[in-house]
Amino acid sequence: MLLVPPVAGEQDCGLRIDDLGRSFPLDRMERHALCLLAGVVNDPTTSHVNPPIVTPVRKAVYDFLLNHVVLTAALVRTLGIGQYTIDRVGAQGFQGADGQGSEALVELLYKDSTQRVYHIQGTHHGRVFPLITGEAIVTLTSQTRRGNDGKESVETQMAVYARLDNPMLAALVKVLKPFLRDVINGKLVGPFLAIQRLGELIAADPEQVSRQAETMLELDKAELDAMRALLVPTLTPPSP
């Protein structure tokens, strides 16, 4: 057990990290981010490390999809992968909905070339439980793989911590593991699995995905041009 103590006289943001969370880059995260981490990982309702997933695109393409989430969500909807809608909120945040009763405010707490840490504050309107609220921490750890054919892909592992606000519901989730844990986990990793599926479509036919994106007039032209340059560089006209 690793204990990161709080600064004297300040809010208690000490982190108690077990084996699941040892990969947090604690020494490189701002205090604001550490406090959000502590609020979830010190007493999670559920936590889970998902099996690695492989997205068959270059790392540059994968990073672009994560960095331009409004465009990515629009592509996901247009290509029939999911119903996600996303709007930017500030420099490092965005607000989204999955079209199935869940809404969330997401903040990127940390990013480097191989790791991202997200804080999610969300709500879900369902049939069994009219309103569920809570917070989560999702970490993405990615590395480049190269197959025997020389093609590059990205392997990503996601770790999820979730904490429900309702103590009675949280107790129920703990009792009914793994079923309810899997439901919560699926909601939190769903958007990233949609990116994986989008990556598969890009790998299969990058020109088709690029042409489809060009029909979405509501998207930022500069972002579309940048994506096209990544997907089909041979078709991108040179700069004057």
Annotated domain spans of the chain? 2-41, 46-233
- For 60, the token pair is 């540059």
Residues 184-195, mean pLDDT to the nearest whole number: 93
Angstrom distance (rounded) from CA 208 to CA 205:
5
- Tell me the two tokens of residue 168: 């009675």
CATH superfamily of 46-233: START domain (3.30.530.20)
Q: List pLDDT tens digits, range 5-54.
A: 444 444 568 777 665 545 788 889 999 999 999 999 988 999 889 999 99
Give CA–CA dist 70/86, Å, rounded.
5
93 contacts 108 by C-beta, under 8 angstroms: yes
Query: What mean pLDDT is predicted for residues 92-108?
Result: 92
pLDDT tens string 123-150: 988 776 778 899 999 999 999 999 888 8
